[in-house]
Amino acid sequence: MKEKELVTDIKEAIIRAKQGGSTDHAVSALLKVDRGTVSRVFKRFRELKSVANIPRSGRPRESNESNDLTSVEIVKDDPKKTATDVTKYANERLKLGITTRTARHILKRANLPAAKLSKKPWISKKNVKPRLKFARAYLDCTSSCSQWGYLLATDAELDHLTADYLGSMDNRPFVTTTPSMYQILAKTMEIFGVGSTAGLWSNQDIRRIHVPLNSNCT
């Protein structure tokens, strides 16, 4: 029932008052409704002999409550299912013709809002150029290359290595205009031995970084 739609009791009261000889103005004042409403209700009663609501025009719902429950169940069984998956299931299995927007409405009514990504899908803008530079430098180094390994270091120790490394850049394994993180890590590997996993432990935060162990993999 619409918000401004009259209840059946008021409609029946209008009919009884009109059949008793009351005017539209008197019925309107008595029942607190517009005179136009009184006139329309009584006119429809004389035409249809009923105060029931007539069927409205417009496209009916594509999905009923039973189909909605079935669509919701596949998401509850597998939370990774999306509105697109629900649309495909409803159209293929239930022989409906709903759109993705309708599927979203169904899930929203069932208190199943869209899930959010657990991690960002794209690289940050500030890291695009460094990542591209690194990828070009090690384009020919595959995942099975033996020159790859892991290095553990703290922020403070990396800062200390930076200061020491600025004075010894002639023999650096990675040649760039300024000392990069990879140059610092390469120097660290020289200190702790190339090919081994260096553990620099302290009470500070530990970084685990995937780096090339020498310059042969270029």
Domain that holds residue 43: 8-48
- Residue 208 gets the label, from left (phi > 0), alpha (psi -120 to 50) or beta, of beta
- Asked whether residue 104 is domain-assigned, the answer is yes
pLDDT of residue 134: 75
- pLDDT tens across 29-82, in order? 998 899 999 999 999 888 888 888 877 777 778 888 899 999 999 988 888 888
Same-domain pairing of 130 and 80? no
- Could you give the 3-state DSSP secondary structure of residue 119? coil
- Asked whether residue 58 is domain-assigned, the answer is no
- Asked whether residue 158 is domain-assigned, the answer is yes
- Asked whether residue 217 is domain-assigned, the answer is no
Total structural domains within the chain:
3
Same-domain pairing of 104 and 39? no
Same-domain pairing of 101 and 131? no
Same-domain pairing of 81 and 138? no
Report the alpha-carbon angle 160-163-165, nearest 5.
105
- Asked whether residue 92 is domain-assigned, the answer is yes
- Asked whether residue 203 is domain-assigned, the answer is yes
Say what the pTM is: 0.34
- Asked whether residue 171 is domain-assigned, the answer is yes
- Asked whether residue 89 is domain-assigned, the answer is yes
- β strands within 50-163, DSSP E: 148-154
pLDDT of residue 25: 92
- pLDDT tens across 15-26, in order? 999 999 999 999
